[in-house]
Chains A and B, each alone.
Chain A
């Protein structure tokens, strides 16, 4: 049917009952030189992503911490700048005979702002790098996929994968312990 016409297809997904089966299948795909493979699990499973991680995936993975650091740095700078400017430049005023630049008293606010901006950095990193929110995604077309967030384990090979050939690939997947193999349309 035209639904299978090339370019209309996102990839082929396979559903597994246990994480072990998924791992086994993953290894076979790796050996078969597949690279554009995605895994969908109800809880973080170590190592899966690492196997097929491409260049830009690595970048996106490593970018998390720097973004958070930048956030924190900006926060600290804001805190110090604001307080010094207010007390020394904009409105210097004798308060309780304390020095205008009572820097020890400025530490708490600087610290809090550091944390605040850093965690903003964290959220930003998390959302941007994961391209979230992303309400529409072809993988949701996979039948039974709602269980990927509950108790089933999915993988999906994209058609973009150089090795992709929907006959062979499908056969390869059916050879695994997959309980269900199907095309995932765009």
Chain B
């Protein structure tokens, strides 16, 4: 087959093992890594500061108001969850589809998922008026004889996101056990060796274990696949179930899922491209990986664009006064700039991916992926805010303006994400060695 190879020709078991485990086991991670940790950790501190002030004063420090009662927090939530989708998609769906190219990138994609979902899960909690009462959402035998209100999409959210986080972690960890064993066996005597030893559960690469390992992994993949689709569908219900013009739309679930994968792969590239450059992983994360991600972005991007088109079409075709007005206000109203950023990034920029050079050249691809991330965040913003700012009664229309605290939380969450990522890069096998060894030997599932 004429396709570019998935792995450098000169790679062997030993070389893969050496390259990857070196990243985790080396004495000094280099000044770049250190600087990164310091910078991102300072952002984490900023986040904590923001959260502390938020809890002391209340959500009023944000720009939210009546009618726009949801602002950045929910925007971030939807966006982060979306980011979280690529990881599971790569590791689960592509596994089921026997996409071998996934093997070398799924590990850090899954890590990305977990951290993104953490950032996401934080948001709904912070945006509560009384965050210390969050446990009212849990079904537990309380003193009030009350239950959560199971018809509310927010409760569905709670179940979906927590399930998603749990399953992602399980999936990630099980996949990592053999590699942790490798690290255990390569680590110099000392505390780290024992830590890896415990984490590896005493894995010894027994052929029997391998068989059951692969089987479990496959079934888990089978479970994660519908899950990943369900999660963002449920998130989209937050809007689709409400009856606001611009929210109440049956196309939301597929359109959100596509958007999620779209932004997810954008984020994968945003991370992978610098990663392979900095850690010299070009042999493991090859141009073909980049191109495949790019192709997926293009596909999902087109689905998203269809979603936009569809909204306007239905508003016109359904000839509903409120829908029509909503679409009009979205495009030309107070938030026109946001809307056109979305169009520019998610519709315009995406089309560049039709051209091969754009798909394989790291730099342009990197820029495109950044733009798509921006575009998708803005899209969430448009969905959340513009619909709320002008709904049914003109008398109650209002505007949302973010305050500094909105930005602190948003930027802080970015900081948290990258910080966790830096830690992950330092301590874990960022490329699944066992899986790549399979590639060396041309083994197929």
Contacts and interface: CB of A to CB of B under 8 A. Distances in A.
Q: Is chain B a partner of chain A in the same complex?
A: yes
B150 A83 contact: yes
A130 B213 CA distance: 9
Interface-central residue, B151, B160, B207, B433, by most chain A CB under 10 Å:
B207
Interface-central residue, B147, B155, B174, B184, by most chain A CB under 10 Å:
B147
Interface stretch (A3-11, A58-66, A162-170): A58-66
B237 interface: yes
A48 B209 CA distance: 11
Given A102-B151, A126-B216, A151-B14, A39 B159 contact: no
Contacts of A90: 145, 147
B159 A122 contact: no
A106 to B, nearest CB: 6
19 contacts: A38-B208, A43-B210, A43-B434, A49-B210, A64-B216, A90-B145, A95-B149, A106-B150, A113-B163, A116-B166, A116-B167, A119-B170, A123-B174, A129-B212, A130-B213, A134-B202, A135-B197, A135-B198, A150-B14
Given A72-B223, A82-B139, 17 more contacts: A39-B207, A40-B205, A45-B207, A60-B208, A86-B139, A108-B159, A109-B155, A118-B223, A119-B166, A119-B170, A127-B201, A130-B213, A132-B202, A136-B202, A149-B182, A149-B204, A151-B17
B8 to A, nearest CB: 16
Contacts of B13: 42-43, 150-151
B207 A48 contact: yes
Nearest to A118: B223
Could you tell me the dominant secondary structure of chain B's interface residues? helix
B3 interface: no
Nearest to B168: A119
Given A108-B159, A112-B163, A41 B220 contact: no
Contacts of A111: 226, 230
Given A40-B204, A116-B163, A130 B209 contact: yes
A47 to B, nearest CB: 9
A48 B213 CA distance: 14
Contact of B147 (A86, A112, A122): A86
B146 A150 contact: no
B210 A119 contact: no
A87 B150 contact: yes
B26 interface: no
Interface string B405-442: 00000000000000000000000000001110110010
Contacts of B185: 146-150
A94 to B, nearest CB: 12
A44 B213 CA distance: 9
B170 A43 contact: no
Nearest to A39: B207
B223 A122 contact: yes
A109 B181 contact: no
A151 B150 contact: no
Contact of A49 (B12, B139, B207): B207
B341 to A, nearest CB: 32
Contacts of B33: none
A145 B185 CA distance: 9
Given A40-B204, A49-B207, A150-B14, A115 B219 contact: no
Contact of A119 (B206, B220, B437): B220
A105 to B, nearest CB: 4
Nearest to A43: B437
10 residue pairs, one from A and one from B, having the closest CB atoms: A146-B185, A133-B201, A151-B13, A49-B207, A86-B147, A43-B437, A44-B210, A39-B207, A108-B156, A126-B216
